[in-house]
Structure 1
């Protein structure tokens, strides 16, 4: 089997730990378990510089699209198609696997038809929502669609009227993470990790810290990430006089995020939408508790508290901070298992093509 992977972005080198951590975990595990099957990765938009390079033994070609709009985006697609055909001529591709139901799935659809090979597409985030214009341009009956949670599958059903081919929960690749710790000595009470965008809803994080400060005058919180909401959040912090209680770190490398998780008690995640919330699994791996809306994949209800309304965040975190819960590392699933589940899915998609050729 020879698989070509298509993605909007991919780390530019092995030190680039912040570019789509879940996909990094997947490709690292896949290359370790099935190196002979990885024909290559084509990254459409990022890295921004066009060219070929190797990442953990994987051949990667960056189209350098830089998120170009409209007609300029067509040039990125042409670059991707040229590279795909070059790889196919050298050693024929037997399956295309694209990530996100967007431009990569569209190009993957074309390659699947031209080469007569199956196409597997993985839902990765907001691409499952009805606002995704690509959903109407994709022939979903001609590809296997996988997702990482029942939540994501439900959104796909609502947007398209179709069922996903398979739900495959994504795990973690411990080799790319810091060692977990079960230590109860943690100096950060609340931690937030994510892009500072309206969807992530971190204004509620700030409001939660402000409410808890009344009962916990020494409360300490950290919010990791950057984005268009940062200035507004900084203003809220000043208005609530939280300068000594809540710090914004900006964008941090993944190992540094891991170090903060080792020191933190509770992950507060007020996002209004997640496809699978990979950050939950990392928080549990580092021994944290999680407080969130009912989004993404909630695989361990004993340690993940779900909120129905904004006031639940302060109520639940107050209860957790009032006692001393254990901080036990939980690896819910390894990425090795995730890769093997995809490896089992691929032959079921190859079989109809084999029968056609026979």
Structure 2
């Protein structure tokens, strides 16, 4: 690839508001930082449709970010689409676009696909989450599209194929080892991390802790995250008399989350769906054991336990807690070079 002349334009619903914003789509941030480091001459522009809530163009680690300030407003949707199209035309005139790369199958992929078709450009669409589910009407425009679709794991790939009969290439995310603190002695037995939403299934998490604490009354548990289910979860904790067992930390910076993980033994992840589960990669490198459903980028390794019932979750938690371990082990789920090479090859290919 001749990086001196390549101009990659990324379309995304949201992006980090600044270089200090560590919590907005961390997987994308890690990918782009690594891509820039590997290919410093590559020209990248990001058009962010909804977030951050500003119209001021800014620089993020050498990348120009153009926010459209949609604020997730349905009223502004068509206006934002027209604005995005104008920005794309302007960018293409000033510095011809080599590849359009849309994140999520949604409004970004819809506009990206149309613009790419009209201007004979390559278009890559990275599905990121529940956008592969049946109810997503934006998937239909990709059925006759020439766009290249990327999914993040075998589970993610299979769900898109079953629901929409669309093939995709699997390109997984990866972590940046430099983000992680040193491993520490465990102060937390069980950690839950993720938005406090229905899909993360925290009622099951509380039920698991309720059962485990019967045999381990000194159990130390923390839940990191915020969301609409916060008060429901808080009430459940009180109902089951777990106030001295479970601590709700609220939202923490990514650095703080990784610090918590470095001193935790088990990640109990009760989510019923994950496309990849960036938290899995983080937990393994932080020396943790994982207990989860068969979701996301699950792998058959000793440190990752797949469960399907409350009883299985409980027994597995107790087995790990009772296990005597001399040393924590860091595990790399996916290597950065693989992902960077796969995307670089796509940027340079004719599909």
Q: How far is the alpha carbon of 1:7 from its aligned partner?
A: 0.7
Answer yes or no: is 1:100 the counterpart of 2:104: yes
Report the TM-score, using the length of structure 1 for normalisation: 0.93
- Per the alignment, do residues 86 and 36 of structure 1 end up closer, same or farther by CA in structure 2, a change over 3 Å counting? farther
Q: Which among 101, 105, 115 is matched to residue 119 of structure 2?
A: 115
Between 321-330 and 42-51, the greater mean CA deviation after superposition: 321-330
Q: Where does structure 2 lack aligned partners over 5 or more consecutive residues? A: 1-5
Q: Which runs of 4+ in 1 moved over 4 A?
A: none
Contact 2:113 2:145 in 1 (8 A): no
Give CA deviations for 1:278-326 in whole Å, capped at 9, x if unaligned.
1000000110000000000013522110012222111111111111244
The residue number in structure 2 matching 1:353 is: none
- CA apart distance, 1:163: 1.4
Provide the residue aligned with 2:9 in structure 1: 4
- Residue correspondence of structure 1 range 342-357 to structure 2 within 5 A: 342-349=343-350
TM-score by length of 2: 0.95
Instruction: Judge conservation of contact 1:2–1:36 (CA < 8 Å) in 2.
Output: no
Question: Residue 290 of structure 1 aligns with which residue?
Answer: 290
Counterparts of 2:119 and 2:324 in 1: how far apart (Å)?
A: 58
Counterpart in the other structure of 2:3: none
Equivalence map 1:192-231=2 (5 Å): 192-231=192-231
Native 8 Å contact 1:191 1:221 kept in 2: yes
Q: Equivalents in 2 of 1:327, 1:129: separation in Å?
A: 37
Tell me by how many angstroms 1:48 deviates: 1.2
1-structure distance, mates of 2:112, 2:27: 21
Partner Cα separation in structure 2 for residue 7 and residue 234 of structure 1:
33
Contact 1:180 1:329 in 2 (8 A): no
Once the two structures are TM-superposed, the CA of residue 140 in structure 1 deviates from its matched residue by 4.9
Instruction: Spell out, residue by residue over 1:99-136, the C-alpha distance to the aligned partner (whole angstroms, 9 max, x if none).
Output: 11111101110120122111010111000111112112
Correspondence for 1:63? 68
- Alpha carbons 1:29, 1:336 under 8 Å: kept: no
Displacement of 1:235: 0.4
Partner Cα separation in structure 2 for residue 7 and residue 17 of structure 1: 17
Q: Which runs of 5+ in 1 are unaligned?
A: 351-358
Residue pairs, 1:252-291, within 5 angstroms: 252-291=252-291
Structure 1 residue aligned with 2:78: 74
Residue matched to 1:37: 42
Q: Which moved more, 1:320-329 or 1:252-261?
A: 320-329
Q: How many residues align?
A: 345
Kept after mapping to 2: 8 A contact 1:224/1:252: yes
Which residues of 2 match residues 227-238 of structure 1 at below 5 A?
A: 227-238=227-238
CA 1:140–1:298: 2 relative to 1, 3 Å: farther
